[in-house]
Amino acid sequence: MATPAAEGTRARAPGRPRDASIDGRVTAATRALLAEQGYDATTVQAIAARAGVHASAIYRRWPSRIELIEAAVSPAADLAQFHPTGDLRRDLRRFMRAYVAMFAEPAAQAAVRPLLVHYQTAGAERDASGFLNISTRPQFAEILGAAAPGSVDPAIDPDDVFDMLLGSLLARSLVPTVASRRRPLERLVDLVIRAVEPRVQQA
Amino acid sequence: MATPAAEGTRARAPGRPRDASIDGRVTAATRALLAEQGYDATTVQAIAARAGVHASAIYRRWPSRIELIEAAVSPAADLAQFHPTGDLRRDLRRFMRAYVAMFAEPAAQAAVRPLLVHYQTAGAERDASGFLNISTRPQFAEILGAAAPGSVDPAIDPDDVFDMLLGSLLARSLVPTVASRRRPLERLVDLVIRAVEPRVQQA
């Protein structure tokens, strides 16, 4: 039951307001360390020193270095301010480019494979937090939901398409025989558009 | 210029005929070692001892342990005898199941991530031999080529679809948030069929 003092005021988390600038400083320091010194050297202590914060400030925000590294090399932050325009091709392109740009960065290049190895060791089931997708999956569904009428079949499950697309983007970065072909991203945009559109079109 | 002795005989590589059974024994020994002792312990010496062959017999067949491990955990051998029926859904299912089965094996589970790390270290451009695809890419094109008329748009580039599919299959094994969803493979078959079919169908 609300106390009189709380009535009429907006709900707020207890304690001091969290300093949002720390989040950005910490993830930037994480990316810099990954790029310069690699995955193993990117410890919470090293990140804290680089960012000029206490390790405790990091642990208040992320349970471990794994989640912090995931956050630092995820395109989620880049996509957080993105709202679909309704132009399916344009929106898909924007979404996919965020992943391609992220995977191309030295920080992600240093982190992605060790994270995959970590997931294997930790057990995939127990460690489904997901540097690669969990925070952009809803945004992908929004893109399909906002598309112009007739461009997305209602029978399509956006999560299935997202899974397919995520793997395809990952392969462009991780798998030599795919990466070396250097196919334009637009070819993948085309295939996704084809996969989601209604099967029988009115001429 | 052919010598008289060679005339009228079939072309044959010089030296003794290669013992095909050695290939199978060596790849089986490689899979067993990967599953039991892991990637690092699966050396050419250990494989030779396990298979009961000389290391030189291995090096005559594969340039290094990397290519041997790639061959041992590739579905290419399983798909070598596969010929498309012309039923696109059935053929795609068969092809994709070979990958899913391979990725699920302990040997592949032990090898795939270290191979990805190796590719990064070695440089993706120089190391595009490809455990994941190079030898099944033509078979995938055959499947699309054999499909019943009207089921595959001639404008589709099979290599683009293969790249997309390979990544999607890989993600089902490697990426926790995809793997943990345990979606039926048929959903991915559906998306591939939709992506390749002609865009405007006659009703």
| pLDDT tens profile B82-127 | 899 999 999 999 999 998 898 889 999 899 888 887 877 665 444 4
Query: What was the pLDDT predicted at A32?
Result: 97
Nearest-neighbour CA in chain B from A75: distance (Å) = 16
Instruction: Give the model confidence (pLDDT) of A118-171 as tens digits.
Output: 877 665 444 444 555 456 888 899 999 999 999 999 999 999 999 899 888 888
3-state secondary structure of B188: helix
Taking Cα atoms as reference points, which of A90, A168, A160 lies closest to residue B159? Answer: A168
Range B179-187 average pLDDT:
85
Query: What was the pLDDT predicted at B179?
Result: 76
Instruction: Give the model confidence (pLDDT) of A34-75 as tens digits.
Output: 999 999 999 999 999 999 999 999 999 998 898 899 889 888
Nearest-neighbour CA in chain A from B3: distance (Å) = 42
- B113: nearest CA partner in chain A: A117
- State the pLDDT confidence band at B10, using cuts at 50, 70 and 90: very low
> Which of A191, A192, A199, A201 is the mutation pick for testing B, counting most B CBs within 10 A?
A191
The beta-carbon neighbor of B116 closest among A113, A192, A200 is A113
- State the pLDDT confidence band at A198, using cuts at 50, 70 and 90: very high
Within 8 A of A157 by CB-CB distance, chain B residues are 187
Query: What was the pLDDT predicted at B194?
Result: 95
Within 13 Å, how many C-alpha atoms sit on residue A42's CB side?
29
Asked if B109 and A120 count as a contact pair (C-beta separation under 8 A), the reply is yes
Q: How far apart are CA A87 and CA A67, in angstroms?
A: 33
Q: How far apart are CA B48 and CA B59, in angstroms?
A: 10
Number of Cβ within 10 Å of residue A140's Cβ equals 23
Tokens 């990637």 -> residue: B39
> Which of B168, B169, B183, B199 is the mutation pick for testing A, counting most A CBs within 10 A?
B168
Q: Report the largest interatomic distance among the alpha carbons of chain A, rounded to a whole angstrom.
A: 66
- B123: nearest CA partner in chain A: A176
Nearest-neighbour CA in chain B from A203: distance (Å) = 7
Asked if A187 and B139 count as a contact pair (C-beta separation under 8 A), the reply is no
CB contact under 8 A, B177 and A128: yes
DSSP result, B136-163: THHHHHHHHHHSPTTSS-TT--HHHHHH
Query: What was the pLDDT predicted at B7?
Result: 35
ipTM of this model? 0.77
DSSP result, B167-185: HHHHHHHH-HHHHTT---H
